[in-house]
Structure 1
Amino acid sequence: MTTGSAMDWLERTWRPALLLVAFLALWQVVTATGLIAPYLVPSPGDTLDVLVGKWPYIWQHTWVTTYETVLGFVIAAVVGVLAAVAMVYSGTVEKTLYPILLFAQVIPKIAIAPLFVVWLGFGLGPKVLVAVLIAFFPVVISMVTGLKSVDTEMLELASTMGGGPLKTFVKIRFPASLPHLFSGLKVAVTLAVTGAVVGEFVGANEGLGFVILQANGNLDTPMLFAGLIVMSVVGVVLFVLLELAERFVLPWHVSRRGSAVTTTI
């Protein structure tokens, strides 16, 4: 890392880091003074003790949730991109599929998750399916927006130069849609974490959702907070990995908005 990039990274991170330190300090003060009972909100020290002392147990369940999240996200990304392409290139498909997608999106996933358990059992299927359903919509919408945002003059120029639909898609439409697609993917991957955990809430014997549910039932708030923190870290790590992929695939786009507040790297 060069001096310039290190300074840029420091400039982007010192404010959220300071806010995080202030939050931890406030958390410590509130718990140390007894304003809130320990069984309601544990101290940062107690939460850290659980994270360190029971890390093998937590890591085992973290891996399960991460696997469910990544699998659900990949399926949502692939199917979402294919659905978006079909909707852009066919008005009939768009008019048929879009209302159904919108209807499916507004249904609370936690309300229908028990049905998935009944249909698919207590295995991997229900968790992945909930993750797919939650992550699918942002991918479709962002990809459709990206494909439709291509300059019409560019498409007309490609047509006059003999470019067929496939070549125009590969050379013009798809590359131009990538900034929009990555924006949707970064939203989708964080939602996929939530989807996997929601699926675990409904029926599971492993995963961070199971850990959080068990801790809540036992009033083990340090473990509950530890599970929530690890769940958040998983989402942040996956988000940053996508930003790295975006930087690699679209260096021109990232450099153009390198000072944007939504850039974490």
Structure 2
Amino acid sequence: MKLARPLIIFLGLLVVWQLIVSITGVAKFILPDPLSVFSALYQRWPELMSHAGVTITEILLGLVLGTVLGCLSALVIAQYRGARLWILPVLVVSQAIPVFALAPILVLWLGYGLASKVAMATLIIYFPVTVAFYDGLRRTEPGWLDLAQVMGGSGWRTLMQIRIPAALPALASGLRVAASVAPIGAIIGEWVGSSAGLGYLMLHANARLQVDVMFAALLVLAVFAVCLYFAIDRILRVLISWQPDKAL
């Protein structure tokens, strides 16, 4: 039943897509029909997979780096008031600057290779992870902290055994958001400047009016993004299995 529902939704979207194309009679270079897209997907499969491998690598590396840096920043902010006064304004400023404005600068600094795209993905992922984990750390049940203090628990043990476990559900929410937005940074970086990746392929297909190839690349990206989200969601449910499912 769990597999049937997504399949029904996917088939329903394909039917709606085909109906729109058939009813409006829109030109294929504007909106190709699903058959044309799947035909391009089949014919260009090796090329699509080659570029997808680059994009997926960028996304996964950005997700790992963004998560690690976000968790470390949240721990530092939660533990040290002085660091909080310095890091929180930086977090706010980093979100006030549009991602598109940072992409050319990162490409200029880090080049057209993997590094600039990973940096873009890391920047996008860093904020939701940091904010979610920090919010969970500072909302630890006061009664638990009082009990730990009465029992003589050190600050380190209180952090490791009470505050971090209590903040895991909030961190899980941040990671789910991060998994959803992770592809954005990599694709934007590839659009600004790259020599490989799904974003690079989409730009070149657009220049040649190969809209079916663009949609095929977008379909591959969408499938990977959905799989990544549900994979992370599944891992998080196992790691915090003690948390009621309704609160996940």
TM-score band (shorter)? over 0.9
Does 2:151 match 1:161? yes
Q: Which moved more, 1:183-192 or 1:27-36?
A: 27-36
CA deviation map 1:159-196 (0-9, x unaligned): 11111111111111111111110110111122121101
Q: What residue identity is the alignment partner of 2:130? A: V
Show the counterpart of 1:141. Answer: 131
TM-score, with normalisation over the residues of structure 1? 0.89
Does 2:154 match 1:196? no
RMSD: 1.6
Does 2:50 match 1:60? yes
Corresponding residue to 2:209 among 216, 219, 223: 219
Mark the runs of 5 or more structure 2 residues left unpaired by the alignment. Answer: none
Distance in 1 between the 2:164 and 2:62 partners?
23
Distance in 2 between the 1:231 and 1:173 partners?
37
Show the counterpart of 1:35. Answer: 25
CA deviation map 1:229-248 (0-9, x unaligned): 11111111111111111121
Distance in 1 between the 2:198 and 2:228 partners?
16
Show the counterpart of 1:20. Answer: 10
Structure 1 position 212, deviation (Å): 1.0
Distance in 1 between the 2:79 and 2:24 partners?
62
Distance in 1 between the 2:217 and 2:96 partners?
27
TM-score, with normalisation over the residues of structure 2? 0.95
Indicate if the aligned counterparts of 2:103 and 2:120 stay in contact, CA closer than 8 A.
yes
Show the counterpart of 2:84. Answer: 94
Does 2:169 match 1:175? no
Indicate if the aligned counterparts of 2:77 and 2:83 stay in contact, CA closer than 8 A.
yes
Q: What residue identity is the alignment partner of 2:82? A: T
Q: Which moved more, 1:100-109 or 1:76-85?
A: 100-109
Structure 1 position 35, deviation (Å): 2.4
Distance in 1 between the 2:44 and 2:200 partners?
15
For these two proteins, the number of residue pairs brought into alignment is 248
Show the counterpart of 1:3. Answer: none
Distance in 1 between the 2:108 and 2:205 partners?
25
